[in-house]
Amino acid sequence: MSWHLLVMPLRRAAEDGGLEWAAGAESSFGLPEEPPAACELPTVAQVLSAFREAGCHGVPWFQIAGHDLTWDLPGCPDPATCVSNGGLDLGEVSLGVVDGADGDEPVELDQAVTDIGFRKPSGSAVLATAVALASQAGPLLVFDDSGEKVFVVSPGDDPTHLARHWPW
């Protein structure tokens, strides 16, 4: 069975009516009562930096124009035991970008990212990435493909505290 986690800037979710949807989820953590202040969307370069900062690895389902991703998002060193040994595998990673053509075209490092998708990730890897990215991009909304669980990671959040409440 396949499963996905999705991450998007909370500001972007608020613009699209996502806070109302998230408030009705079966399980939620950290949802603000008011929409967040406007801020810039993270760039592809910032997302890649967050992957590195978090020490994560995965399989990119995107290409960057003129750029080799192996340093930014290395492959899993041990797929057979990674997750069971606490590895930080993001699974298959996709990026939604502003002005993205059809998803098959390479993205630019300075393009704004609207969402990040993780297929079959380690939950702890997604949390580590969200903590790293929130420090650069502001609050993030994380949710699963069922839409039943939503979680907000904000700049300055204590990762240990978040991990105690993290549903994945």
Average pLDDT of adjacent 10-residue blocks, the chain of 168 residues: 85 83 91 85 95 94 83 80 85 90 80 95 96 94 93 96 96
The pLDDT assigned to 97 comes to: 94
CA 36/CA 54 separation, integer angstroms: 24
The pLDDT assigned to 68 comes to: 73
The pLDDT assigned to 1 comes to: 43
What's the predicted TM-score (pTM) here?
Answer: 0.91
The pLDDT assigned to 101 comes to: 57
CA triplet 37, 40, 44: central angle to 5 degrees?
140
The pLDDT assigned to 166 comes to: 97
